[in-house]
Amino acid sequence: MNIKITGTGSYIPDTIEKNENFIQHTFLNTDGSPINSENTVIIEKFKAITGIAERRYAKDHLNSSDLGFFAAEKAIIDANIDREELDYIIVAHNFGDVKHNTIQSDLLPCLASRIKHSLRIKNPKCVAFDILFGCPGWIQGVIQAEAFIKSGMAKKCLVIGNETLSRVVDDYDRDSMIYSDGAGATIIEATDEDGGILAHETASFTYDEAYYLFFGNSNNQELCRDTRYIKMDGRKIYEFALTNVPNAMKTCLEKSGVDIKDVKKILIHQANEKMDEAIVKRFYKLYKADMPEGIMPMSIQNLGNSSVATVPTLFDLIKNNELENHSFSKGDVIIFASVGAGMHINAIVYKY
């Protein structure tokens, strides 16, 4: 028995927010003081570091669970399964449903229950639950689905990553330009086909690192101090990721028994182009090798950082030949890897 991804789907919102749309923004330092740079300079530096030229925002009437539902519908159709046969629906997110122009996260009921309701699944034995695991949430959901299937508790699982980060950003913070909205979904099944999940690795670093990403006040000191926004210590995250993600990927690859030379693609969480490139280069350096050209597909340039949605969306785009110069062939070895709030790190070695 092998455990494979048998169907994929993604939802990429229609609304495009280009970098030039931030020209009129007022960006402030954390203490509320003005930044001594023109917005054109701020945006140019932002593009050079993150690689982001534009990002996607959900339409005002849609919530995170709606995006997850759209992606899930596509994945179910792609896998050609009866949705009533799903044993688990696992939804990764970080902020619940945050309605447009509101400040409160809505998590009752959980998003997985909402998505199951929207899918019109009647079977009560299809268990729906959420996981909060930062940006690595979708990968962790796949790891959980694999565990359920291996234990005999499940045969088919739906794992979704959906987020509307545009609803929780501080407009006065330069980091707000990083975040975007989207959803990716996968069907995980036990099959007799060759390939599937070969190994996984997960770690949670909390002793000193737990609050590198957090909910904090706006940089605008005049706004309500009871309202919170997504905040991060970018420098600490960069240093943390550069040290720990390559090590986790190496441990995972060693567990799989696959040679580094046989890895065809690395689908890393689309957090920051420079950081992702540095992580993958450091990973290959652990093997005293150079990073191969074309090994690391990127979607962040046009889609931004949609947290839990980036990796499954990237996988879906490549699978459907919708990402230029990238494709999968049967037997290709792929590494999924992510790092995010918590601080959590995980990786999967997967044979396509």
CATH classification of the domain holding 218: 3.40.47.10
Q: For residue 166, give the nearest of 214, 104, 229 by alpha carbon.
A: 229
109 in the same domain as 213: no
CA 97 to chain centre: 17
Which sign does the torsion angle of CA 168, 173, 179, 181 carry?
Answer: positive
The number of domains in the chain is 2
Residue ending a domain, choose from 166, 193, 220: 193
177 in the same domain as 225: no
104 in the same domain as 220: no
186 in the same domain as 225: no
Q: For residue 184, give the nearest of 7, 310, 320, 336 by alpha carbon.
A: 310
How confident is the prediction along the chain (352 residues), in pLDDT tens digits per residue? 899 999 999 999 999 999 999 998 999 999 899 898 899 999 999 999 999 999 999 999 999 999 999 999 999 999 999 999 999 999 999 999 999 988 789 999 999 999 999 999 999 999 999 999 999 999 999 999 999 999 999 999 999 999 999 999 999 999 999 999 999 999 999 998 899 999 999 999 999 999 999 999 999 998 888 889 999 998 999 999 999 999 999 999 999 999 999 999 999 999 999 999 999 999 999 999 999 999 999 999 999 999 999 999 999 999 999 999 999 999 999 999 999 999 999 999 999 9
54 in the same domain as 8: yes
CA distances from 104 to 101, 115, 307 (A): 9, 20, 19
Which residue type occupies 176? S
Q: How many CB atoms lie within 10 A of CB 40?
A: 12
- The range of the structural domain enclosing residue 117 comes to 2-193
215 in the same domain as 187: no
Residue ending a domain, choose from 172, 193, 214: 193
Contact status, residue 296 vs residue 325, Cβ threshold 8 Å: no
**Residue 9 β-bridge partners:** 185
168 in the same domain as 240: no
152 in the same domain as 49: yes
> What φ, ψ does residue 246 adopt, rounded to 5°?
-60, -35
171 in the same domain as 101: yes
Report the largest interatomic distance among the alpha carbons of the chain, rounded to a whole angstrom. Answer: 61
Contact status, residue 352 vs residue 191, Cβ threshold 8 Å: no
* Per-residue pLDDT, 106: 92
Alpha helices in the chain (DSSP H): 39-50, 64-79, 111-118, 137-150, 234-256, 273-285, 300-303, 310-319
Which residue type occupies 254? E
CA angle, residues 198, 199, 202, in degrees to nearest 5: 155
108 in the same domain as 12: yes
Residue ending a domain, choose from 193, 228, 250: 193
269 in the same domain as 164: no
Contact status, residue 101 vs residue 58, Cβ threshold 8 Å: no
Q: Is 306 helix (H, G, I), strand (E, B) or coil?
A: coil
Give dist(CA 73, CA 15) in Å, integer: 21
188 in the same domain as 46: yes
Q: For residue 141, give the nearest of 188, 80, 195 by alpha carbon.
A: 188
